A and B are shown apart, each in its own frame.
Chain A
Amino acid sequence: MTEADWPLFEVFIRSRSGLEHKHVGSLHAADARMAIEHARDVYTRRQEGVSMWVVRSADIIASDPEEADSLFEPARDKVYRHPTFYAIPDEVKNL
């Protein structure tokens, strides 16, 4: 492995406990530990996080935006999954 081959890692940060980890960006590192240390220096210089994940970008499996239409199509005609689909008389409360 030469320096040019340092793998790319995606960085996820939990900004405070109670919130989920959120993708913030990516960086190169020789290994996981260096990725965590670099992530601290690059993405949390102002206390942006209480916890970090790093994952090799190559290990992420992503959906294809070209197929987004067909992939998400099944949910499109199911408006009855939303509460606003149901007409309830105004005088009925707490529903």
Chain B
Amino acid sequence: MYTQGLDTHGKEPLPTAAEGEARAARFQGRIDAEEKIEPKDWMPEAYRQTLIRQISQHAHSEIVGMLPEGNWITRAPTLKRKAVLIAKVQDEGGHGMYLYSAAETLGIPRAQMLEQLLSGAAKYSSIFNYPTLTWADIGAIGWLVDGAAIMNQIPLCRCSYGPYARAMVRICKEESFHQRQGFEIMLTLSQGSHAQRAMAQDALNRWWWPSLMMFGPSDADSMHTGQSMRWKIKRFSNDELRQRFIDVTVPQAHFLGLTIPDDELHWDEATQHYRAGPIDWSEFYAVLKGNGPCNRERLEARRRAHEAGRWVREAAAAHAQRSQREPAPQAAGVGGVAGAAA
């Protein structure tokens, strides 16, 4: 059930060491048997904390991710593109909501997650700290950023934690439109005037490397990979997923007639993979630490939105309280629930 209210964790007597070990072994046994873990099931505290960290960061990424794209809603080149972009940004908000719900089942209140985001304590995907300078960036984001996200997220549909896996199934279904609309923007630009082709190439130049960094540090430096794989939160390593993304994306760039900004990129006949040049991880860590081009601006925008919306939330709460005191004649018109079992 999707509620922290039913979560009894914390009230239970602490297991003795022997009991704890037996439980942990039983838990790992369930994971190994591909059973899903559900919110009220016993789980090791570290499993719970890992999921809270990952799911809330994922939710924050969706919410902050609305900003770079929202930047172009008023300047979309046609009414169709504007409608599509609004729908996409709304989807990102929805994805954030699914994920906050899933994280809440682990016992963390939503208000606390929001607080972590707004205070700057929580991380979100480094990609959203880059600016969207031209319309082509909206194409590049859909094609590359959502493409990389899909590559990351499809294995998460089989994650061992039920609510996260279910949220990811829903999200992946919706992401496919995001990627395709982005590619279509790039396609249109790449078949356009010289200036439009140049704009598409410029967007690819700026988004390519940050997109590769979205998969996280290389396996050798990844702090969380090993345990997450044993718990089946993660199914593939960062480098595996990154390679897969490169392999599918390079031919798409060729189709567009665009050049991947990597002099060392080449096809390796022996392994049947594209080999990319080294990633500048100092840039990744700088952005992660808060020194990307837009870190401060993004958080400022979130804080402003949160403050600007405060009176609406307060008014809604006051209205709900008054309705409780003086119920309207047909309040809560959810009729038909009774007797509708099955």
A54-95: CB near B (< 8 Å → 1, else 0) gives: 110110101011100000000000000000000000000000
**B6 with A30: CB separation less than 8 A:** no
**B contact residues around A53 at 8 Å (CB):** 334, 337
- A-B contacts at CB below 8 angstroms, number: 95
User: At the interface, yes or no: B1 with Cβ under 8 Å from chain A?
Assistant: yes
**A contact residues around B324 at 8 Å (CB):** 31
A1-19: CB near B (< 8 Å → 1, else 0) gives: 1111110101000000000
Interface residues on B, range: 35 or more
Within 8 A of B (CB), among A18-66: 20-21, 23, 25-28, 30-34, 36, 41-42, 45-46, 51, 53-55, 57-58, 60, 62, 64-66
**A8 with B3: CB separation less than 8 A:** yes
Nearest Cβ on chain A to B35's Cβ, whole angstroms: 12
Selected from B38, B111, B316, the residue in CB contact (under 8 A) with A65 is B38
User: At the interface, yes or no: B278 with Cβ under 8 Å from chain A?
Assistant: no
**A contact residues around B167 at 8 Å (CB):** 25
Selected from B42, B87, B313, B320, the residue in CB contact (under 8 A) with A31 is B320
User: At the interface, yes or no: B239 with Cβ under 8 Å from chain A?
Assistant: no
**A42 with B40: CB separation less than 8 A:** no
Known: A36-B334, A65-B38. A57 touches B3 (CB 8 A): yes
**A34 with B316: CB separation less than 8 A:** yes
Nearest Cβ on chain B to A3's Cβ, whole angstroms: 4
**B109 with A4: CB separation less than 8 A:** yes
Surface stretch bound by A, among B96-104, B213-221, B244-252: B96-104
Smallest CB gap from A63: residue in B:
B40
Task: Please measure, in the bound complex, the distance between the C-alpha atom of A65 and the C-alpha atom of B101, giving whole angstroms.
Answer: 20
**A4 with B321: CB separation less than 8 A:** no
Nearest Cβ on chain B to A44's Cβ, whole angstroms: 10
Interface of B (DSSP majority class): helix
Known: A42-B98, A65-B38. A60 touches B319 (CB 8 A): no
Task: Please measure, in the bound complex, the distance between the C-alpha atom of A1 and the C-alpha atom of B325, giving whole angstroms.
Answer: 13
Known: A31-B323, A65-B38. A26 touches B3 (CB 8 A): yes
In this complex, which of A4, A41, A45 has the most chain B Cβ atoms within 10 angstroms of its Cβ? A4
Nearest Cβ on chain B to A89's Cβ, whole angstroms: 36
User: At the interface, yes or no: B41 with Cβ under 8 Å from chain A?
Assistant: yes
**B40 with A65: CB separation less than 8 A:** yes
**B contact residues around A31 at 8 Å (CB):** 316, 319-320, 323-324, 332
Task: Please measure, in the bound complex, the distance between the C-alpha atom of A45 and the C-alpha atom of B88, giving whole angstroms.
Answer: 11
Selected from B98, B102, B111, the residue in CB contact (under 8 A) with A4 is B111
User: At the interface, yes or no: B333 with Cβ under 8 Å from chain A?
Assistant: yes
Selected from B90, B310, B321, the residue in CB contact (under 8 A) with A45 is B90
Task: Please measure, in the bound complex, the distance between the C-alpha atom of A46 and the C-alpha atom of B175, giving whole angstroms.
Answer: 13
Nearest Cβ on chain A to B133's Cβ, whole angstroms: 29
Within 8 A of A (CB), among B317-333: 317, 319-321, 323-324, 331-333
List 11 additional A-B contacts (Cβ < 8 Å) besides A4-B111, A57-B3: A8-B2, A10-B2, A21-B340, A31-B319, A31-B324, A41-B90, A57-B2, A57-B5, A60-B6, A65-B40, A66-B42
19 pairs from A and B in contact (CB 8 Å cutoff): A3-B314, A5-B317, A6-B313, A10-B2, A21-B340, A25-B101, A25-B166, A28-B110, A30-B316, A30-B319, A31-B323, A32-B334, A33-B332, A34-B316, A42-B97, A57-B3, A58-B5, A60-B3, A60-B6
Q: List the 10 shortest-distance A-B pairs measured between CB atoms, nearest first.
A: A57-B3, A26-B2, A30-B320, A31-B320, A3-B313, A30-B316, A4-B111, A32-B332, A1-B317, A26-B101
The residues of B with any CB-CB pair to A shorter than 8 Å are 1-6, 38, 40-42, 87, 90-91, 94, 97-98, 101-102, 104, 109-111, 166-167, 174, 310, 313-314, 316-317, 319-321, 323-324, 331-334, 336-337, 340, 342
